[in-house]
Structure 1
Amino acid sequence: MRGQEQGSHNDMSGTVYGPAVQAHTVYGGVHVRAQEPAPRRPWQLPASAPITNRSAELDVLEERRLRAGQGGHHTLVSVSGLGGVGKTALALAWLHRLRADFPDGQLYADLGAQSPAGPTDPAEVVGRFLRALGVAAAQVPAAFAERGTLYRSLTAGLKLVVLLDDAASAAQVRPLLPGGAGVTAVTSRWRLPGLTVDGCHLVQLEPLGVEDGVELLAATLADGRVDAQPEQARALVTLCAGLPLAVRVAGARLAARPRRGITTMVRALAKEHERLEGLAIEGDHNVRAALDQTYQELPEGAARLYRLLGLHPGTEFGDAVAIAVLARPDPGDAASAPAPAAESPAAADALASLDLLHDANLLTDTDEDRHRLHDLVRLHAAAKAAQDEPPRERAAALRRIADHYLATATAAEYAVDPQHRTMARDYGPGPVLTDELGTGPEAALDWQERELPTLMAVVRLARGAFPEVAWQLADALWPLFLRRKFYEEWRTAHQEGLAAAEELRDTAAQCRMLTSGGVGVLGLGEHTRALEMFERAARQFQADGDALGHARTLNYRGLALQRLGRLDEATRCFRLAARELPGVGDVRAGGLARLNLADVALALGRPDEAVVHATAAHTTLLGAGDTYNAARADILLGRAHLARGAADLAEGRLTAALTVLRAMSAAYETARALHALAELAEHRGLPGPARAAYLEALTSYDRAGRAASPDARSARARFEALSAAPDGGPA
C-alpha cells in the first residue's frame, strides 16, 4: 500500500477522558496540577418554527419534565405520529424554551429512519456527540461499548437537552441516552413502546383540527383570503389531512399567487388527489397531492433540480451538489477533469433554482449553503424523477453526484497527505465538479468528517451502480480514517470497496482494500483477522507478479504478528522487508522495517541489536524526508542507550525526538518520548524531574486518546509509586 505508515505500532485500546492521579500518601509540599480541557457547550438544535395550537401537547411534555425533575430523574419523552404532522416542530418548540434551565448545551441527531441509506448507526452518533462535548477526535474510543460509557460519564453531571429526530427503533435510541438529569426528546413515525422500560413517556401527535389548520393557513398566507373564503379554507385543510407540512406547502403556493382564490387550489388539489390515489406515500394521499401541485407550478429548471435532488443518497447536501446534478457534459471534452463547482456554467441557474425550492417550502436550511429535503418531500422528488426523467438522465445525474463526492474526497486526501500516492480515479462523462475545502489539511479533514454519512451512503450505493467509485472513494477516505479513527466506518467502507473490486475482478484494487482495510481492522484489535487480510493481499500480489506490493505486505504482516505476541515470526517478516524493499524501489519502507526490527529487539531485551537497527532506520528515514518516523527512531535509540546504561547518549536522542514531535503536535509519540525521559531521570536518581516528566507524559497520552494503553498504564504506575515514596525519594 502506497504512502501509508507501515511502521505504526499505536495501541488502539480504550480511552479515559481527563487526567486522573491516584496516590496513597503524599509527603512534603507536592503540588500536582493538570490542565483541564475548556468546557464545550454545544448548541446544536435547529431553529424552531412557529407552531399552531399545540398547547395541550406542550403542557403534557412540560408536566412530564417537572415530575421527573422533582425526583432527580432524567426526562425521556417520545413524540410519534404521521409524517408531516409536526413532531419535530413540537419537540423544538418545547426544547428551545428550556435553554435557561439547561445551560450545559443541546445535542441533536437525525437518526435517519427514512433515509435512503438506512438508519444511522448509534456508534456514529455517540462519536459525534463526544466530539461536540469537547472530546478530541483521537480520544473517541474505537469500541462502541467504551464510547457509550464515556458519553454517559461525561453527561452525568450536566444539565443537557438532547433531541433524537426520526428514530427507527428503541434499540437505536437506547445507547444515545445521556447520563444525568437532563431532557431527551425522541421523534419517530412509529410508537416506541420499548422505551417505556427506560421511563419514557409516549406522546402521540395527531393531525391538526380543521380550525387549527385554518389558523396555520392564515398565518402562512398573511393576507385576507382565509377570512374571505372560510369554507374553502376549511376544505383545503381537510384535503391536506390536517398535516402541517401539507398546509404550509399549499399555503406557500397560494402566497406566491396573490390573485388566486382558495377555491382554485381546492379544485386542483381534489382532482390531483383522485388521480394519485394509488401513488400515496405511506397512505398520505393528500400530502402527495399538495406536493404535486407545488411541483407543477415550479419553473422547469427548478422542477428538474427538485426531481434530480431526489436521487441524492444522503439527508443533506451543499450548493455544489445542486450545481453538479444540473451540469451537462461538454461534447467537446474528450475526458472529465475535476473542476470547482462555483466556476461551472450551471452554477447561476442551480443557485437560483435552489432559492425557488426554498421559497416553495420544499427545502430547508441546515447550515450556511447547506440544504435538506423533508423525508416525504424527498420521496416525492424521487418519484417525480422516476416519472419525468429518462433512465439515462437519472443514471447520468447519479453518476455526477457520485463523482462530485469522489473528486472532492480525493482533493481532500491530497491536501492532508500529498505523499499518499493514490491509485487512478475513474470518473464518468462529467462534468466532475468539486466542493470548496477551505485552507489547509485540517479544513480538508473537516470536510471529509462533515460529509462522512453521505460519503458512506455513496460507497454503498456505488457498489451496485458504479463499483469503481465504491473502492476508490473508500481509498480516498484513508487520511480521515487514519487520523480521526472512525473505525467502524473504516471497516464498512473497505468491506464494500473490496466487494466492488472483486466484482470488477480488479486485483490491484482488491489488494488496496485488503491492506488499507487491514490497518483499520488492526486498530480495532482484531489482529488475527488483520493478519488474514494482509496474507491474502500478499498471495494476490505474488500471483500478479507485483514484487513491490508483496514486499510491502511484509511490514503489515509483521505488525499483526507483533500485536499477536508472535515476535520471532514478526522479526522474520521485518528482516525480509528490510532486505527486499530497497531492491524493489521503496527505500523508505525498508527504513520502516528497520524501525520495526528495533522495536521488537527492545521488547526481546536486546538493546545492542536495537541500536544497530534504529540507527540505520534513522539515517534512511531522514534521507527520505520522513522527519516524523526519524524522530520515532530517535526514541527507540534513546531507550536502547538507556537499557545499555549510556545515559548521556540516551538523553541526546530523546531530547532531539521530543523537539521534533512537539512541533508536529504528535501527541502519542511526544508522550512516549517524555515517558522515556522520565525513566532516564529515575535511572539518574532524580525523582522530582521523573515525576514531572511522567505527569506530562500522562497528559500527552490522554490528549492522544491512549490513556488506557499499556504504555500509559506503566507511566501512571511509576508516577504513583514515586509520589507515594517517603520524602519524595526513589520508590
Structure 2
Amino acid sequence: MPVDERSVHNDISGQVLGPSVQAGIIHGDVYIGSQEPVLPPTPWQLPPAAPLTDRSDELLFLKRRRDHCVHRGHPFLAAISGLGGVGKTALALDWLHSLRPSLPGGQLYADLGARSPSGPVDPAETLSRFLRGLGTPPQQVPHTLAERAALYRSLTSRRPVAVLLDDAESAAHVRPLLPGGNSVTLVTSRGHLTGLTLEGGHQLHLEPLAPDDAVQLLADTLGDRRVAERPDEARALVGLCAGLPLAVRVVGARLAARPRRSIAMMVGALSEERGRLDALAIDGDRSVRAALDLSYRGLPAEAARLYRLLGTHPGRHFDDGLAAALLAPTGATVGEAADLLDVLHDTHLLTETGEDRYRFHDLVRLHALARAEEDEPAAERAGALRRIAGHYLALATRAEHAIEPRRPTLERDPASREVHSAPFGDRDAEAALDWLERELPDLVAVIRRVGTTDFPWFGWQLADALWPLFPRRKHYDQWRAVHGEGLAAAEEYGDRAAQARMLTSGGLGELGCGEHDRALEMFEAAAGILARDGDALGHARTLNYRGLALQRRGEPEAAAALFARAAAELPRHGDPRAGGLARLNAAGIALDAARPEEAAAAARAAREVLCEADDPYNAARATTLLGRARLLAGVAEEAEVLLSEALAVLRGVDAGYEVARALEALAEIAGDRGETPVARARYAEALDLYVGVNRTERADAVRARLAALDAAG
C-alpha cells in the first residue's frame, strides 16, 4: 500500500523493497517547515535534583572557581570524580539547578554511559541531541562530529548554558561536548579526568561523607528518632556504608520501612553482608553491594523478581508498561507493575527521571543484573529479554502505523500484535514521532542486544518500525546503526526479504548522509537479492533507488535511463503510482538539463498518474515542475497559473522546499514584469524557507536575485 505523502513528502511508494523516500533524497529536498519564524526553544534537560546532605565545602569550591571565571570572562569547566555511589551526580545537579537564573540559555544533560551495558555513547550522537535541544532543525544537524561540535560551540557562544556530562569515560570522550561562550560545564566520572586541565578544567574529587554528615543523611532518610536515640549505632551503620550516600539511603530506606527494627539489628545484618564481600578490591563497590544485597533480600517476592528482570534491560530507562511486560507471565497488570516500581523507588533502588520513567544508578543496574544471573535460570533471562523486545516492537509498530498507516511492513513477530497502552493516539503522528525519538536510545540498545540471541528478527523488525522517524527527524547516526545491525542479523539468520529491506532502507540513510557510492552499492545488492528471488516488483522499485544514487553522483543520463525503466516496469508489476514518481524524477533531470519540452511532457504524465493515485502532494510537485518547465520555455502566463495552483496545495502540507521552489519561479515572473515589490517579497519568503531546510545553493541563488533587484533600483 502507498505511503501518505502529506506527512512524509516522498517520491517512491511501496515496500522498502520500496518504502517511500523523503523527497530531499529524491528531487529538491522537501522538508516540513512553517511559514512563520519560530524562536529557538530553551532546553531544560537536567533531571530533578535529589536532596543533598552538606557538601558545603564542595559547593563553595564550585562557586568560587566559577566566580573567578566569570570575572575574567571565561567559561567554567569542572570534573567531579569519586567512587560509585558517592554522590557526584547529586552534587552536580544541586549546584547546576541553583544557577538557572544566571544561565537563561538553558540546561543540557547527557548520560555518557561509561559503565552502561551498551557501552559509552558516541559524542556525535550526544551532539546531535544537544543541537536539536538548542533549536537546530533536524535537517540542519551536520553529519560529521567536527561539524556538529563547531555548530554547538557557535550556538552556545551566543546563549550560555549549563551542561552536565554524566558518567564520562575519559577527557577525549568529553572534549567535543564542551560548549562555547561563558557556559558552565560539569563532568562526572569515576576516574580523575586530568586531561581536562588543558581546557582549563578544575578538578574536584568527591570523598565519602564525613561521619556526622552521613549520620544526618541516615536520620533524614529514617524520619524518626532512632538515630537521635542510638547515635553510636548510627555511626557504626554509616561506617559500614563507607559514608557513601547511595548505600546510606538504601539501608536507611529499609529501616524506614520497618519502624520497629533497631539500628543495631541493621548493623549486624550489614556486617554479615560486608563479610561475604571482603574479596572485592574496591571498598566503595563492596559497601554499596552489601547495602544492595541487604535491601534486595528485604523486598517482597514480586518486587525482587521485577528488580532482577529489569536488570536484563539493555537500555537505560523504563516505565510501568515495560515492567508489566516483564511480569506478563504472572498476569500482572500495568497498575500492579507501577505499584512494584513504587516499592523499588521507595527503597532507593530506582531513580525517577520524570514523566513516569525510571532508571537505575549504574551500580544498582549491575547489581540487578548480577542477581538475575544468580537467581534466574538462563531460559527466564532470555524470556525476559524477549518480552522487552516484544514490548518495544508492539509500541514501535503502533507508532509506525500512526505515522504511516498505509506503509507495508516486513512480517512481524506475534509480539507486535500484543495490546500495549501507548502515550500517543493511533492517529496522532506527531506524538508517535515524539515517542519514537524519546525512546530511540533504548530501542537502539535493544536492537544491538537481540542480534546475539536466538531471536535476532526483533532487530530488523524494530529497525523497520523505526523507519518513519528517520526521514523526518534526521537521526542519521542511528539510522545507519540500526539498519547495519538489522542487516548483519538478517544475513546471519538467512532472511533474504529482511536483507533486501535493510539494504534499501539503510541505503536511503546513506544517501541522506551524502554517501552516494555506498548507497548505490546497497541498492544494487538489494536488487540482486530480489532478482534471484523472483520479486519483480521489488526489483523494479530498486530502479528508482539506483537512479537517485546515480543522480546524486552526478550521472544524470544514467539516472534518467533507470527512471525510464522504472516508469515502464512499475505499472506493469502493479505499482503505477511509483511509476508516476519515476516520471517525476525523470522530468527533474530533463529540466536541469534545460530541455523544457521533454521535462514538461514527463511532468504532465507524472501529474496525471499521481492524480489518479489520489496523491495530491506529489501531484502538486509535478505541477510545480511543469510550471517551471513552461517558464523556461517562455510561456510565463501558463507557468504562473500552474505554479499558483501547486503553491495552494503545497502550503497546506507544509512542504517547505517545494513551496520555496514555486515561490522562486513566481518571483522570477513578477520580476520580468517589472513588479519589483512582489518579486522581492516572494524571493524573501523563498530565501527564508531555503535557509530553514539547509539548502545553501538555492539560498545563495535567491540572494543573488535579491541583490540584482536592489541594484536595479
Unaligned runs of 5+ in 2: 1-14
Distance 1:426 1:415, change over 3 A: same
How far 1:682 sits from its partner (Å)?
2.8
The answer for the alignment partner of 1:398 in structure 2 is 385
Name which of structure 1's ranges 225-234 and 244-253 shifts more when overlaid on structure 2: 225-234
The answer for the alignment partner of 1:77 in structure 2 is 78
In 2, the alpha carbon distance for the partners of 1:658 and 1:390 equals 63
In 2, the alpha carbon distance for the partners of 1:66 and 1:515 equals 54
Matched, 1:448 2:432: no
Matched, 1:363 2:317: no
Distance 1:552 1:13, change over 3 A: closer
The answer for the alignment partner of 2:468 in structure 1 is 479
Distance 1:49 1:660, change over 3 A: same
Maintained 8 Å contact 2:550/2:558? yes
Distance 1:629 1:281, change over 3 A: farther
Query: Which amino acid in 1 is paired with 2:590?
Result: A
In 1, the alpha carbon distance for the partners of 2:645 and 2:126 equals 41
In 2, the alpha carbon distance for the partners of 1:139 and 1:152 equals 15
In 2, the alpha carbon distance for the partners of 1:359 and 1:418 equals 41
Distance 1:505 1:377, change over 3 A: same
Query: Which amino acid in 1 is paired with 2:436?
Result: Q
Alignment TM-score, normalising by the size of structure 2: 0.94
Matched, 1:461 2:449: yes
Distance 1:12 1:42, change over 3 A: farther
Aligned with 2:592 (options 593, 598, 603):
603
The answer for the alignment partner of 2:19 in structure 1 is 4
Aligned with 2:534 (options 545, 551, 554):
545
In 1, the alpha carbon distance for the partners of 2:187 and 2:332 equals 43
How far 1:232 sits from its partner (Å)?
1.4
Query: Which amino acid in 2 is paired with 1:5?
Result: S
Matched, 1:45 2:46: yes
Query: Cα RMSD over matched residues?
Result: 2.2
Maintained 8 Å contact 2:77/2:202? yes
Name which of structure 1's ranges 202-211 and 271-280 shifts more when overlaid on structure 2: 271-280
Name which of structure 1's ranges 276-285 and 655-664 shifts more when overlaid on structure 2: 276-285
In 1, the alpha carbon distance for the partners of 2:428 and 2:123 equals 30
The answer for the alignment partner of 1:159 in structure 2 is 160
Maintained 8 Å contact 2:83/2:284? no
In 1, the alpha carbon distance for the partners of 2:67 and 2:610 equals 64
Q: Deviations over 1:476-511 (max 9, x none)?
A: 111100111111110111110100110111111111
How far 1:678 sits from its partner (Å)?
1.8
The answer for the alignment partner of 2:623 in structure 1 is 634
Maintained 8 Å contact 2:523/2:546? yes
Alignment of 1:165-564 (within 5 A): 165-278=166-279, 284-328=285-329, 345-427=332-414, 433=420, 435-438=422-425, 440-465=428-453, 466-564=455-553
In 2, the alpha carbon distance for the partners of 1:363 and 1:7 equals 41
Distance 1:278 1:589, change over 3 A: farther
Secondary structure of the corresponding residue to residue 692 of structure 1: helix
Query: Which amino acid in 2 is paired with 1:406?
Result: L
Aligned with 2:641 (options 621, 645, 652):
652
In 2, the alpha carbon distance for the partners of 1:720 and 1:420 equals 45
In 2, the alpha carbon distance for the partners of 1:387 and 1:421 equals 43
In 1, the alpha carbon distance for the partners of 2:333 and 2:93 equals 36
Name which of structure 1's ranges 105-114 and 508-517 shifts more when overlaid on structure 2: 105-114
How far 1:404 sits from its partner (Å)?
0.7
Query: Which amino acid in 2 is paired with 1:8?
Result: A
Distance 1:127 1:429, change over 3 A: closer
In 2, the alpha carbon distance for the partners of 1:275 and 1:166 equals 28
Maintained 8 Å contact 1:12/1:142? no
The answer for the alignment partner of 2:117 in structure 1 is 116
Distance 1:715 1:615, change over 3 A: same
Q: Deviations over 1:356-400 (max 9, x none)?
A: 111111111111211111111111111111111111111111101
The answer for the alignment partner of 2:660 in structure 1 is 671
In 2, the alpha carbon distance for the partners of 1:281 and 1:363 equals 23
Maintained 8 Å contact 2:393/2:416? no
In 2, the alpha carbon distance for the partners of 1:538 and 1:48 equals 54
Identity rate of aligned residues, in percent? 59
Query: Which amino acid in 2 is paired with 1:463?
Result: G
Maintained 8 Å contact 1:403/1:432? no
Q: Deviations over 1:294-315 (max 9, x none)?
A: 1111110111111101111111
Alignment of 1:56-75 (within 5 A): 56-75=57-76
How far 1:223 sits from its partner (Å)?
1.6
In 2, the alpha carbon distance for the partners of 1:546 and 1:506 equals 14
Secondary structure of the corresponding residue to residue 85 of structure 2: coil
Secondary structure of the corresponding residue to residue 59 of structure 2: helix
How far 1:585 sits from its partner (Å)?
0.8
Query: Which amino acid in 2 is paired with 1:452?
Result: L
How far 1:345 sits from its partner (Å)?
4.8
How far 1:283 sits from its partner (Å)?
5.9
Maintained 8 Å contact 1:213/1:247? yes
Distance 1:712 1:631, change over 3 A: same
In 2, the alpha carbon distance for the partners of 1:283 and 1:161 equals 29
How far 1:514 sits from its partner (Å)?
0.5
Q: Deviations over 1:309-354 (max 9, x none)?
A: 111111111211011000018xxxxxxxxxxxxxx75323211111
In 1, the alpha carbon distance for the partners of 2:295 and 2:269 equals 11
